Chain A
Amino acid sequence: MPVYRYILRRLALTIPLLFGITLMAFIISHTVPADPVTANLGQKAMSDPAIVAAFRAEWGLDKPLPQQYLIYLSNLLRGDLGRSIKSRRPVLEDLRAFLPATMELATASIVFGAALGLILGLASALWRNSWLDHGVRVFSLFGVSVPVFWLALLALFFFYARLGWAVGPGRLDVGLEPPPPVTGLLTVDAFLARDWAVLRNALAHLLLPAVVLGAYTTGLITRVTRSAMLEVLSQDYIRTARAKGLPTRTTLTRHALRNALIPVVTVIGFSYGNLLAGTVLIENIFAWPGIGQYAYRASTSLDFPAIMGVSMVIALIFIVTNLVVDVLYFVLDPRLRAS
């Protein structure tokens, strides 16, 4: 099957999924005990019957549920995710303001987690049952067991407050002027503005939160890489490669690694969405102005429209990354193309 046909087929499969997600968001926000009117309007607005009536009309809350869903859907398609109770602004506007910081953090995390996880997983598989392997396995189990919000506090306490090795919370030092916004990603914007001091500082601020957030992913990728590599190394074609006298190096890189990478790529793609979600648990601690902190504040103050907005956006990114990964997978694995 040619790649474009595969992409088209996967896209076609994504459409019902998108409907499913909106339906789920609709059910959660409309049929649960929390009344969407009280959830969306503040105390003041609630006491004004005109506002309540206008809100009901806008979201069609007086109509039967299926019709409400259609109205909800058409509001969504116009980018109307409702209004945040806390910020009093449209949720979409808030998300647009907060998303770049989170994307920057999650991307730094996935780069760190994938690089370290691959190296550790490969070393662990190649020197199987050595002390290195045992050490790596324990380390990877630590990674998938540690509560990330706790690790964030500990890291900040030791590396910033006590040892002074890391810079403090936030995206930049207080005195620094942020670069003119182009992408919203400080590192990229600083690079575009050729502002090396800001770039260095932004990277320094990324380091600690990215490593902390990436702990789970690092552990996961290490484990998947190790088991994928062990699985591949036990295959007949590796024995054949060795038997015909290929240098170990060539066998490992050309035959083993390429095949072992396939499941790893899936996990990396799937992890990106989880990293975006994981920011909910740490951004508040690192004073990182992203959707994670936005969602954290929303959840502690029960700002329901904001929570739903964040969930929808993260689910969307999750689906898109999985789509991209599936296509990559298809390109990487000739066996899939043949069938």
Chain B
Amino acid sequence: MSSPSLALPQGPEPILRPQPGRWAILGRFLQQNPLATLGVILFTAWILISLLAPFIAPYAPLEQDIVNRLQGPSERHWFGTDQLGRDVFSRVLYGGRLSLPAGVMVVIVAGIIGTAVGALAGFVGGWFDELAMRATEVFLAFPTIILAMAVAAALGPSLVNAIVAMVVVWWPNYARVVRSLVLGVKSQEFVEAARALGVPDGRILWRTVLPNCLAPAVVLATIDLGNAILVFAGLSFLGLGPEPSTPEWGRMVADGIAYFDQWWMAAFPGLAIFTVVIAFNFLGDGIRDALDPRLRK
């Protein structure tokens, strides 16, 4: 800008204070939230276990040893063996390789679809908004597990179909959240300014509105991961996930029902689900606290 009259008025000298770096902020957050720290540790541990499963598991997950079937926990088989003599410990370690990516996939794909629909509905408004919101209401009128079950059953049981079924059920939540975020941002002055400058609508939505809605949506998705993993395990427990022999936690718990006295068959895979889900919930709880100034200590 060459014209001096348009120059910004010179304010007082900014107070120079070193801005805390990302890691410092993260460090302080974790320090103030011991539960969130525990969540991060558990979550990191599960990622490492899932990545390294082929190297740290003492047995192959599908390796059968009929002679030693239904053995209780021992030095050779820490979590015992199942009805086919497979090592429960190894299968539990491998289970994360399915549940974690499945949960992440559901949240990401549902997040993208939900964000697209919600952002358009909020930004465009009118009949599209009305239609999209009535549609989300219909989806939300079914309890999650029931609708996911119906869709998964219709598609046929498989790992991919379970994920697809969950995405079908999951996106309306994101659509509603992103829509309300977009509505909030849309009325801000900087959006009006962009409009006044003649920026086309599509560009305003993409470059001005969406980036300002993304952070809360990503936080929501992180908190939501635990839930997604829980529902995925439920579908799998119902036999609507990966095929029977797959080392998947929900499936393993289901197998354990028939062998009630061999408690280790169901107990350890269930514990795995529990620790993963609670890791995300510990973390999510900490994030929620940190973001809500009213609840700050």
Q: Is the CB of A230 within 8 A of B295?
A: yes
Whether, in the assembled complex, A99 has its beta carbon less than 8 Å from a beta carbon of chain B, the answer is: no
Closest to B279 in A: A145
Q: Is the CB of B238 within 8 A of A147?
A: no
A123-155 CB contacts (< 8 Å) to partner B: 129, 137-138, 141-142, 144-151, 153-154
8 Å CB contact of B238 from A25, A151, A296: A296
Q: Is the CB of A153 within 8 A of B295?
A: no
> Could you say which interface size class chain A belongs to?
35 or more
Q: Is the CB of A146 within 8 A of B238?
A: no
Closest to B226 in A: A145
Q: Is the CB of A28 within 8 A of B267?
A: no
Closest to A284 in B: B257
Whether, in the assembled complex, B203 has its beta carbon less than 8 Å from a beta carbon of chain A, the answer is: no
8 Å CB contact of B142 from A148, A151, A157, A311: A311
Q: Is the CB of B233 within 8 A of A318?
A: no
Whether, in the assembled complex, A314 has its beta carbon less than 8 Å from a beta carbon of chain B, the answer is: yes
Closest to A272 in B: B143
Closest to B161 in A: A33
Question: Once bound together, how far apart are the Cα atoms of A25 and B153, in whole Å?
Answer: 12
Question: Once bound together, how far apart are the Cα atoms of A35 and B81, in whole Å?
Answer: 40
Residues of B within 8 A of A32 (CB): 151, 154-155
Whether, in the assembled complex, B250 has its beta carbon less than 8 Å from a beta carbon of chain A, the answer is: yes
Question: Once bound together, how far apart are the Cα atoms of A319 and B141, in whole Å?
Answer: 6
Q: Is the CB of B149 within 8 A of A230?
A: no
Whether, in the assembled complex, B114 has its beta carbon less than 8 Å from a beta carbon of chain A, the answer is: no
Instruction: Report whether over half of chain A's contact residues are helix, strand or loop; otherwise say mixed.
Output: helix
Residues of A within 8 A of B103 (CB): none
> In the assembled complex, how far is the CB of residue B4 from the closest CB belonging to chain A, in whole angstroms?
49
Whether, in the assembled complex, A16 has its beta carbon less than 8 Å from a beta carbon of chain B, the answer is: yes
Whether, in the assembled complex, A161 has its beta carbon less than 8 Å from a beta carbon of chain B, the answer is: yes
A148-197 CB contacts (< 8 Å) to partner B: 148-151, 153-154, 156-157, 161
Whether, in the assembled complex, B237 has its beta carbon less than 8 Å from a beta carbon of chain A, the answer is: yes
Interface residues contributed by chain B, number (CB under 8 Å): 53
Whether, in the assembled complex, A107 has its beta carbon less than 8 Å from a beta carbon of chain B, the answer is: no
Which has the most chain B C-beta neighbours within 10 Å: A151, A281, A295?
A281
Whether, in the assembled complex, B239 has its beta carbon less than 8 Å from a beta carbon of chain A, the answer is: yes
Residues of B within 8 A of A311 (CB): 142, 146-147, 149-150
> In the assembled complex, how far is the CB of residue A37 from the closest CB belonging to chain B, in whole angstroms?
14
> In the assembled complex, how far is the CB of residue B74 from the closest CB belonging to chain A, in whole angstroms?
20
> In the assembled complex, how far is the CB of residue B144 from the closest CB belonging to chain A, in whole angstroms?
7
Q: Is the CB of A149 within 8 A of B237?
A: yes
Q: Which residues of B contact A (CB under 8 A)?
A: 35, 134-135, 137-139, 141-147, 149-157, 226, 230, 233-234, 237-240, 250, 253-254, 256-257, 260-261, 263, 266-267, 269-271, 273-274, 277-278, 281-282, 285, 294-295, 297
Q: Which residues of A contact B (CB under 8 A)?
A: 16-17, 20-21, 23-25, 28-29, 32-34, 129, 137-138, 141-142, 144-151, 153-154, 156-157, 161, 227, 230-231, 234, 273-274, 276-278, 280-281, 284-285, 295-296, 298-300, 302, 304, 307-308, 310-311, 314-315, 318-319
Identify 11 new A-B residue pairs, CB closer than 8 A, beyond the known A274-B144, A277-B145. A21-B141, A141-B281, A147-B253, A150-B270, A153-B256, A230-B294, A277-B143, A281-B145, A308-B150, A314-B142, A315-B143
